[in-house]
Structure 1
Amino acid sequence: MDSYDDRGVGSGSENGSVGPGPGQREDASSGADRVSGPGPRGGMAALSLPYQIVAAIALAAIGLVACAQLAMVFLHVAPSNTLTKQHGEAVDDWIYPEFEQNWKLFAPNPLQQNVAVHVRAEIVGADGRHTTPWMSLSGEDGKAIRGNLAPSHVHQNELRRAWDFYLSSHDNENRANGLRGELSERYIRRIAMLRLSEHDYGGTIERIQIRSEVRSIAAPGWSEEKISTRPSYRVLPWWTVTSADLPENTEGAGK
């Protein structure tokens, strides 16, 4: 039997539990079953309105730049058309020298030579003036690539593309054939000075000279073709180093 006290609350004689009294309704859902409110917001929605506006503007700007890059590269590699004829100079200013494209990988006659770029410098120090031996810039890039599972794009392509840029904008007498020629000279000088600044020559670099060494790739053993692998050189004139040729955050050239 269940008995009721004066408050109308029954006490179970069998299990000692307290149940609802007359006129009382048991809650149909426990705490675990109650519907919880909306959780915390994530992503941009968690930002305040000013930050949401800034983030939206930044994403829009990045998207516009990406679309412009794709359009410029497409116009650069596309056959001559009305747009490239009218705006070819603007396309070239955007593409060169960092984003230049070519199809040599798929050419019917791919490159069959090894090309190395060397540099030497004229140093003025406490012991007078002297000239350094030739240093292989391509060789140093090769050392950085060998054994590296994820080599730097700079070590793989920067120097090679800069040299190709120079050759395409100069004649055989090393005379620039326009504004691109002057740009290519400044570009390769800066690369050379950046690499030279990693070495201590005990003085200041006043002049630099660059040359290329070209060796034909030997024919395979099963071929009867005779190919000379003797190197040929193209030596550029001495260039006087200016402040524009120096890497950033340096006070002197190659000190």
Structure 2
Amino acid sequence: MGATTLPDRWSRKAVTSLAATALTLAGALLVHLALVFLSIAPANAASAAHRNTIDAYVQPEFGQDWKLFAPNPMQRNDAVGVRMRTRSADGRYHVSDWVNLTAQDIETVRGNPAPSHLHQNMLRRAWDAYVANHSLKNDIPKGARGRLTGAYLKRVVLQRTGRSWNGGRIVSVQVAGRFSLVDPPSWSPETPSDTTDYRLLPWWPVTEQDNRGL
């Protein structure tokens, strides 16, 4: 009798376990979809009341570059680069060649079936936030947010360069951006743009505090 009932008990336990797992996954999926939907939906009472929770979950892995009912895809090709001033053990200084950080991120993403949003968007968003919060002339920050975006961009860049370069300790960095508009499709009457815009930021000193936690 025990030999015939024991498998039945195992079967019931397996079904119960599978059902619980399915309900948990379904619940997690519903929560995920709800939070992502609220992040791209037009302003409403629910998104306003839970904005901190929504942002904490969605950013940076599930962030969207467009809003529901008002998509705004990228219309330009961006490239952000950096060059470094280093100090060697004998005290001599050296300035490196320019390093295309955007190209490095693209190479990391290419061929990856599940690419990280960090590699796709972190550098670009850090640059966009900096540009939006600094004057074009003299790169003067616009209030506290401007100073914060400057520090953030520097730390994002230092995440990619590390503390040293070619055997020398990095003592300062200079960031630059290059931008060109995406050519219109062949059927469009628009004229392709033949101009490229550049923006060169000032040299930023690098301290131990800048590298802390990276």
Q: TM-score, normalised by structure 2?
A: 0.67
Q: Secondary structure at the match of 1:191?
A: helix
Match of 2:102?
A: 138
After the TM superposition, which residues 62-73 of structure 1 pair with which residues of structure 2 at under 5 Å, given as runs? Answer: none
The reply to whether residue 206 of structure 1 matches residue 168 of structure 2 is no
Q: Secondary structure at the match of 1:192?
A: helix
Match of 2:153?
A: 188
The reply to whether residue 102 of structure 1 matches residue 65 of structure 2 is yes
The reply to whether residue 230 of structure 1 matches residue 195 of structure 2 is yes
Q: Secondary structure at the match of 1:226?
A: coil
Amino-acid identity (%): 36
What's the CA shift string for 1:109-143, capped at 9, x where partnerless? 64321011111111111351121121100111222
Match of 2:84?
A: 121
Give the number of the structure whose alpha-carbon radius of gyration is greater. Answer: 1
CA contact (8 A) 2:65 2:72 kept: no
Q: Which has the higher contact order (CA 8 A, sep 6+)?
A: 2
AA paired with 1:210?
V
List alignment gaps of at least 5 residues for structure 2. Answer: 15-23
Higher helix fraction (1 or 2):
2
Alpha-carbon RMSD across the aligned residues, in angstroms, is 4.4
Question: What is the Cα deviation at residue 160 of structure 1?
Answer: 2.4
CA separation of 1:126 and 1:176: change in aligned 2, threshold 3 A: same
Q: Distance in 2 between matches of 1:76 and 1:179?
A: 25
Question: What is the Cα deviation at residue 87 of structure 1?
Answer: 7.0
CA contact (8 A) 1:144 1:151 kept: no
Question: What is the Cα deviation at residue 149 of structure 1?
Answer: 4.1
Q: Distance in 2 between matches of 1:162 and 1:233?
A: 16
Question: What is the Cα deviation at residue 205 of structure 1?
Answer: 0.7
Report the count of equivalent residues.
201
List alignment gaps of at least 5 residues for structure 1. Answer: 1-32, 46-59, 250-255
CA contact (8 A) 1:190 1:247 kept: no
After the TM superposition, which residues 7-46 of structure 1 pair with which residues of structure 2 at under 5 Å, given as runs? Answer: 35=3, 38=6
Match of 1:244?
A: 209
CA contact (8 A) 2:83 2:173 kept: yes
Q: TM-score, normalised by structure 1?
A: 0.58
What's the CA shift string for 1:18-73, capped at 9, x where partnerless? xxxxxxxxxxxxxxx7645646979x99xxxxxxxxxxxxxx9xx89x95x77765
CA separation of 1:169 and 1:41: change in aligned 2, threshold 3 A: farther
